[in-house]
Amino acid sequence: MLQAVQQKNNPETVSLVTPAAQSAGAPLLTVDKVTLRYKTPNLLITATEGVSFSVNRSDRFVLLGPSGCGKSTLLKAVGGYMAPVSGSIHINGRPVKRPGADRMMVFQEFDQLLPWKTVLDNVMFPLMVARKLPRKEAEERAREYIDKVKLTRAADSYPHTLSGGMKQRVAIARGMAMQPDILLMDEPFAALDALTRRQMQDELLQLWEDTRFTVIFVTHSIAEAIKVSNRILLLSPHPGRVKAEVVDVDHARQDDGSALALERDIHNLLFSEPGHRE
């Protein structure tokens, strides 16, 4: 399962995959030798094979890889939308069987908000149906998180009047307001323009500083992975296998060029194998 990882000069940034050693106590989420397959009308496709990783509380864990490495499928499995063919996924020691509000998803698509509800109602709705909060309490908490994502003035607007970035902010507020065990983000900024994307990345980090939530973030952008994460799981494509894990990513800095160096290292690692071009 564990691929041989190229040894780097800088062992701090790229290391061998190790079981979550640096955390005290049991990890929040464990994914153990998970193989995922899905059917198309005439093919059975293996999306990931024997993938293992674990996520600790307050991790900003990024699944990174070229298209076809099964990272989105992996996230869906963690979300409970598909069952692994073999292997197991546990959250807080409980096996994941179906979707649930303890793992709130933020999708890439802008249509993830319910168009018939205002921003406020969109954030309140899961609080009321899944958390069974009374209306008043739900509204209070929803407003708090809408403030956090700086959408106070748009609280009574309908989603179709918002820009793409604002919609993604609402989706993030909706996920965070539920205070889930893990926030699952499936390329949430991929459909945004480059300027908005950078801004959203900064805001996400700021929100994380505030509440220290746990998040799994799927992306295919190496720069984005380095910017938002503290740990990165690199996956190789066809089928998705773990190639390496990068830890302490948050120690990479923009100003001294270490982030750029890390980006180059990861790029070389991902595209080192011949025949595996994107």
Partner 1 sequence: MTSPQIILAADVTTNRQHANVAEVEQKLGSLELIWGISAVRKTVLIIGLAIIWQLYASYLDNPLLFPTLSDTLVTLYDRFVDGTLPSRIWTTLQVLITGYVAGTVLAAILTILAINTRIGTDFLETMTAMFNPLPAISLLPLALIWFGLGASSLVFVLIHSVLWAVALNTHAGFLGVSRTLRMVGGNYGLTGLSYVMRILVPAAFPSILTGLKIGWAFAWRTLIAAELVFGVSSGQGGLGWFIFENRNLLDIPAVFAGLLTVIIIGLIVENLVFQTIERHTIQKWGMQE
Residues that bind partner 1 (CB under 8 A): 79-81, 98-101, 103-105, 107, 109, 111-112, 114-116, 125-126, 129-130, 158-161
> CB of residue 214 vs partner 1: minimum separation in angstroms?
16
Instruction: Tell me whether residue 70 or residue 79 sits nearer to partner 1 (CB atom).
Output: 79
Instruction: Tell me whether residue 115 or residue 275 sits nearer to partner 1 (CB atom).
Output: 115
Crossing angle of helices 164-177 and 135-148, rounded to 10°: 130
> CB of residue 233 vs partner 1: minimum separation in angstroms?
22
Q: Strand order in 94-95's β-sheet?
A: 43-55, 29-40, 86-91, 94-95
Q: Within 13 Å, how many C-alpha atoms sit on residue 240's CB side?
A: 27
Task: Give the 3-state secondary structure of 2-45.
Answer: CCCCCCCCCCCCEECCCCCCCCCCCCCEEEEEEEEEEEECCEEE
> CB of residue 45 vs partner 1: minimum separation in angstroms?
17
Instruction: Tell me whether residue 109 or residue 250 sits nearer to partner 1 (CB atom).
Output: 109
Instruction: Tell me whether residue 39 or residue 98 sits nearer to partner 1 (CB atom).
Output: 98
* Angstrom distance (rounded) from CA 161 to CA 150: 16
> CB of residue 239 vs partner 1: minimum separation in angstroms?
22
Six token digits for residue 178? 């539920």
Residue 255 backbone dihedrals phi, psi, to 5 degrees? -75, -30
Instruction: Tell me whether residue 67 or residue 161 sits nearer to partner 1 (CB atom).
Output: 161
* Chain centre distance of CA 267: 20
* Angstrom distance (rounded) from CA 244 to CA 267: 12
The maximal CA–CA distance of the chain, rounded, in angstroms, is: 58
* Angstrom distance (rounded) from CA 203 to CA 247: 22
Six token digits for residue 69? 């490495």
Instruction: Tell me whether residue 130 or residue 261 sits nearer to partner 1 (CB atom).
Output: 130
Going from the C-alpha of 28 to that of each of 14, 34, 90, 140, 184, the distances in angstroms are 23, 17, 8, 28, 13
CA dihedral 209, 105, 13, 235 (to 10 degrees): -170
Instruction: Tell me whether residue 93 or residue 115 sits nearer to partner 1 (CB atom).
Output: 115
> CB of residue 228 vs partner 1: minimum separation in angstroms?
21
> CB of residue 160 vs partner 1: minimum separation in angstroms?
3
Instruction: Tell me whether residue 160 or residue 253 sits nearer to partner 1 (CB atom).
Output: 160
> CB of residue 38 vs partner 1: minimum separation in angstroms?
13
> CB of residue 129 vs partner 1: minimum separation in angstroms?
5
